[in-house]
Structure 1
Amino acid sequence: MNESKVKRDPEGTRRRILEAATQQFSTLGLAGARVDAIATAAGTNERMLYYYFESKEGLYVAVLEAMYVEFANHEVSQDLSGLQPADAIRALALSIWDYLRSNPQWLNLINNENLHGGQYLERSPKLREAISPVISLLSATLARGAAAGDFRADVDALDFYVTLVAMGYYVVSNRFTLKAFIGRDYSEPSAIEAVSAMHVEMLLSFLRPASAAASLYPASAGAAAREDGARMN
């Protein structure tokens, strides 16, 4: 690519470098990715790569930042305010899980960064800023549910968010080993539908106030009470 054209389109050049680097890092990891290959795929030269990102590690951090920010933006772009609290939680959960299935590069990058102990993500000042609007959105939904008497009032939004994401993350990131180990393919539509429905019900069951849960499962509640009484006697 002509260098003068590169200079006239700095944002385009930076974007192409990030796109090429995302492909390299998600496939080969930080150690295996090559700066010259990234520059070639981006239609630029190594000098421009170092100009924008200073180092290979700096580029890797920029890729991680971009992927996390995109993920967070996807979540906060949803309008949950018009939904009943339980429906809002269901919509948020299904949207996040669908995103994980649709973005295997993101999962590969997360897994690779965990191999590095998260040391490169710790260098980024932007990630905490990205997560804050997501937690605010979830907090508002949980508060609406608690005000309506649908949800318990003692739920930690951050812990709940981590749990929600983890439910969808595990069956996607481990889909190949799960298929080999237990023989079930969690990329099949029927398996996705079944496990997603179960996960949503688990989340909503946790959120229900104790009185609501007891009314939904009176037999189980009675059995538990009898067991507690037997232990006391």
Structure 2
Amino acid sequence: MSKESQADLLPKKPRPRNPEATTKDILIAARDEFVEHGLNGARIDRIAKRANANKRLIYHYIGNKEELYSRVLLDAYRDIRAGEAKLDLRSFEPDEAMARLVGFTFDHFQANPWFLRLLAVENIQRARFVKKMAELPSLHSPIVGIMQEILDKGAATGKFRKDIDPVQLYISIAGLSYFYFSNIHTLSVIFDQPLSSAEMLSHRRAHVIEAILAFLHSRPEATK
């Protein structure tokens, strides 16, 4: 028997795991599990199977089911905040900066439908895990501060109204896209329109940007 044949018969050593890659696989699998089954219905066994990892590794790298869920949720917030930071909104004039923020929010929700479902899961939990995230305020405060700067700049040039709360504005920006994507299937049936088609998505994106800019350009007396 040749040396090559003998080598084939020997038990192969398992490839060493890459902790970073394994953790990523676990988090993606956990995200899909939580989105599909919710926190209470999610199972570590299924997460391990999805990630092609054993339960021991999940507990070793991240922790129990609630710790895993909290990490998935935190990473989801980190992801959207990182995307907003890359927009470099301060580099643009107020109209363009706000249009870019609105467009990004729409695009992010479209590209990551799991994010909307994950938020729904956490709202069912009444923000139980969000309340425990010490990092969250520091994640959200930069975008609110940047929006305030843009609003001040727009107001100083007479383009934007002066009484806008950046937090209320952000909620409106997110809400206009969130509602569309979280209800896209029922709305498509109710109004008999293919709201998930490329054409309809393009129209909706433009509409949301136009709606926010129209509000920014309005005068307080016109909205009473």
Normalised-by-shorter TM-score class: 0.7 to 0.9
Would the aligned equivalents of 2:90 and 2:146 in 1 still touch at CA under 8 Å?
A: no
User: TM-score, normalised to structure 2's length?
Assistant: 0.85
> In the alignment, what sits opposite 1:13?
22
Q: Say whether 1:122 aligns with 2:134.
A: no
Q: Report the residue type matching 1:97 in the other structure.
A: F
> In the alignment, what sits opposite 1:230?
none
* Aligned pair partner of 2:35 in 26, 29, 48: 26
Q: Say whether 1:112 aligns with 2:121.
A: yes
* Aligned pair partner of 1:101 in 85, 110, 126: 110
How well do the aligned residues superpose, as a CA RMSD in angstroms?
A: 2.4
Would the aligned equivalents of 2:195 and 2:201 in 1 still touch at CA under 8 Å?
A: yes
Q: Give 1:157 shift.
A: 0.6
- Indicate the SS of the match to 1:81: helix
Q: Report the residue type matching 1:87 in the other structure.
A: E
* Aligned pair partner of 1:146 in 133, 155, 159: 155
Would the aligned equivalents of 2:30 and 2:47 in 1 still touch at CA under 8 Å?
A: yes
Q: Report the residue type matching 2:170 in the other structure.
A: Y
Distance in 2, matches of 1:104 and 1:153, equals 34
Identity %: 31
* Aligned pair partner of 2:59 in 50, 61, 82: 50
Q: Give 1:27 shift.
A: 1.9
Over residues 63-103 of structure 1, what are the superposed CA-to-partner deviations in whole Å (9 max), with x where a residue is unaligned?
01111110111111102233221121111101110110111
Distance in 2, matches of 1:16 and 1:192, equals 31
The verdict on how the C-alpha distance between 1:57 and 1:170 changes in structure 2, with shifts beyond 3 A counting, is same
Would the aligned equivalents of 1:175 and 1:187 in 2 still touch at CA under 8 Å?
A: yes
Distance in 2, matches of 1:190 and 1:16, equals 34
Structure 1 runs of 4+ aligned residues shifted over 3 Å read none
* Structure 2 unaligned residues grouped into runs of 5+: 1-12
User: TM-score, normalised to structure 1's length?
Assistant: 0.82
